[in-house]
Structures are given as structure tokens and as C-alpha cells.
Amino acid sequence: MPSFAQLLCSALLAFALTGCGSLEKSGAKEEQGRTVEQSRADASPSVDLAFLLSMNYAEAKALSGQSLELGMTVKLAAENIEVLKTDADGTPRKVRAKGRVYLELGFGDTAKILCQEAWLNGDEAVVRGRPILQRGGSIIEGMADDTLFYVFGTRLRVLGLHRVTNQRAMLAAPGPGMPIASAWTQGPNPLLPSLDETVVPLDIRQEMQRAAEAEAVLQMNRDEALQAPAGAPAPWVKDTQP
């Protein structure tokens, strides 16, 4: 009959072997996770960061596959573009785009946006997935998958982790985590909820809309004042004409 010491040694040995097995399984899962992530990164098409930041609409269409123009001020290219609503004449009104999204907004002083997914409805645009917005020499870089850029007309509100930089600085030192070249080619994060206007707080949307309406009224009044005929000069103004 085995002694108590022998039974204790057998129990400790069995516990150690079980623990080693658990550690091996845990390590295997972690290694599998790293392998999947690395495979996802390796499978992403290689796109030079400098090219992305200088890319135009024609080049974006060639890379992403699908494209759509909404009026004269919005140009969209992506791997998948879904028209959710159209106007009475069939013009796309509400659109969702996913995968290697390229977006041009504005006329003249155009803003270019690179992101993983976008939602557009008239003057509103919501973009997500480490977005990059470039206008002139300035760049706003989203630093996380859930960073949101909300655009209403010419106004922008950023929700989430981000930084303001310029093209030269970004090329010298891409942001922490995945560089934009890798993030843009990998596509949207499947763990995030579906993208639409509800991801932006209602008070922010209303505030942006009121500001845009006030700016439009001010511009209209300014144009009307400039077009109005000049009134008669005041009595104390001398006529200098011969």
C-alpha cells in the first residue's frame, strides 16, 4: 500500500502536468491569435504610405474597385458601396461604403479622407476606422478603429483618439499601432457596430446643423447686400466729379 508521501508526490506531479498542459493550451491560443493577426497583415495588399497621401480619385477607383459621385462635391471609392436611399430622380442620397474607402468632399478647397468605412446622407458624412483627413498641408489622423470623423457641410467634429500633423511628419513617423497603409488595406473592424448617423450623439449633430444653417443665412445676407444698388450719397459728401 503506497505511503502518504508517495500519494502526495503523485498528486503534485499530476497537478504540475495539468498546469503545464493549461499553459501550453493558453500559449497555443495566444500564438494562434498572433498568427491570425500576422496573416491578416501579410494578406493585406502592400500600398506605399506616400502614395496613399497623394492619391487622387482616379487612382482610388483603380485600387478600391467601386466608385460613386454624389453631385459635384462628393466623390467616393471603396471595395463595397451600398446605396441605402435615393432621391425622386434616382440620385443616390444615403450611402454606406466599406473597405479601402476614399472620399473627396468639397469644391475647390477639397478635403480628402481615407478610412475603413463611411456613411453619407446629403450634407452629412460619418467615417470610421483610423481615418485620415487631409486638406491643404494639414492632416488629422484617427488613432483607433473606433475614432469617428463627423462632417456636416464644411464643418468637422472628431470623436475619439486623434492627432493633428502634416504630410511630412506622417511620412517620417507613422502613428503607433498599425500604420495607415496597413489599416486602410485591412478593412473595417468586424467587432464594431454597423455605421450610421446614430453613432454620433444627437446633440452634436444638431449643433453642427444649426451652425451650418446660421452660416448659410449669413452668407445669403452678405450676397444680397453686395448685389443691392448703391444708395444716394449723404448730403455732406461732396461731388468730386468734374
CATH number at residue 210: 2.60.450
pLDDT in tens, 74-88: 999 999 999 999 988
Residue 43: predicted pLDDT: 44
CA distance 134 to 32: 37
Which tens digit of pLDDT belongs to each residue from 178-190? Answer: 567 778 888 888 9
- Could you report the per-residue pLDDT of 116-171, keeping only the tens digit for each? 999 999 889 999 999 999 988 889 999 999 999 999 988 899 999 999 988 787 77
pLDDT tens across 41-82, in order? 444 455 677 888 889 999 999 988 899 998 888 999 999 999
Residue 196 within any structural domain of the chain:
yes
Q: Is residue 33 part of a domain?
A: no
pLDDT over 70 at 29, yes or no: no
**What would the 3-class secondary structure string for the chain be?**
CCCHHHHHHHHHHHHHHHHHHHHHHHHHHHHHHHHHHHHHHHHCCCCCHHHHHHCCHHHHHHHHCEEEEECCCEEEEECEEEEEEECCCCCEEEEEEEEEEEEEECCCCCEEEEEEEEEEECCEEEEECCCEEEECCEEEEECCCCCEEEEECCEEEEECCEEEEEHHHHHHCCCCCCCHHHHHHHCCCCCCCCCCHHHCCHHHHHHHHHHHHHHHHHHHHHHHHHHCCCCCCCCCCCCCCC
Give the per-residue pLDDT at 154.
82
Better-scored residue on pLDDT, 100 or 235: 100
Length of the chain: 242
Distance CA 95, CA 160 (A): 23
Number of domains comprising the chain = 1
Asked if the model's pLDDT at residue 14 lies above 50, the reply is no
Structural domain for 100, as ranges:
49-216
Residue 30: pLDDT band (50, 70, 90) is very low
- Could you tell me if residue 26 is inside a domain? no
pLDDT at 34: 46
Is 176 among the domain residues? yes
Q: What is the pLDDT of residue 37?
A: 43
User: pLDDT (tens digit, 9 = 90+) per residue, 178-223?
Assistant: 567 778 888 888 999 999 989 999 999 999 888 878 876 766 666 6
- Please report the pLDDT score of residue 179 as a whole number: 62
Is there a domain that residue 241 lies in?
A: no
The mean pLDDT value for 225-229 works out to 66
Q: Considering the domain boundaries, does residue 61 fall inside one?
A: yes
In a domain, 40, yes or no: no
- 24 belongs to a structural domain: no
Predicted confidence (pLDDT) at residue 20 exceeds the cutoff of 50 = no
CA atoms within 13 A on the CB side of 198: 3
The pTM assigned to this predicted structure is 0.69
Instruction: Give CA angle at 179 (177, 180), nearest 5°.
Output: 125
pLDDT higher than threshold 60 for residue 103: yes
Chain-centre distance for alpha carbon 38: 23
